[in-house]
Structure 1
């Protein structure tokens, strides 16, 4: 876990652009954690009550804009709380990104106390996420927040 966090710190402190850093984080997490099959960032779309897809790794998604309150990501934009879904089939308010997706974890990113976006992880494995995943992704989000 500490090695993962150290690499995230290195990416954040690198000379890359913000976009390149976010893409590197997506690529790194997807490559290092076997059950992270799609890793992406969504950010608030200006002053609109919606999220806009930014950098991601994994299969393309048509969900590039997500209204607040819709799906797991949209719910996190409203609740400002982590949302771990071990089995997406049990969620009524779920937006499917693909038939392979079995579970999802979404962690908000706060800057100055404001929810500006989130990291979204989809897994093709049911029930894979642990407290360690939440802790790692909260760390990632705290570091990403320093870019804004």
Structure 2
């Protein structure tokens, strides 16, 4: 009888570890709807075990958006979570974000897919489009 063994966490750079700690602290401190905190924790753990590079980029982007783009919004949570999931694949978006319409829509927009906007109303659609544009502008500078 074989047992399932999860892979060990992949090593991060020192800066990546610091960003990860900050992201985990922020995620745990905010009041969010629909178990988004737990979803983000599962996403971080998924990347921690599979893709250090995407984890580092995701943490950096989440922190960057909340530090330097928060003037775009009164509530930085959509920026933070959109940054955290910005490097997800289509399959990962569907798996992790199906219950989180705003982050789902923003992340799909990052892939050029506007189908997630169908689940949002007027102002929320504008917010998703604006945040996706912010992320696109930052990613275009990479």
TM-score (norm 1): 0.32
- More relative contact order, 1 or 2 (CA 8 Å, 6+ apart): 1
Relative to its length, the structure with more strand (as a share) is 1
Structure with max Cα Rg = 2
User: Structure 1 or 2: larger helix share?
Assistant: 2
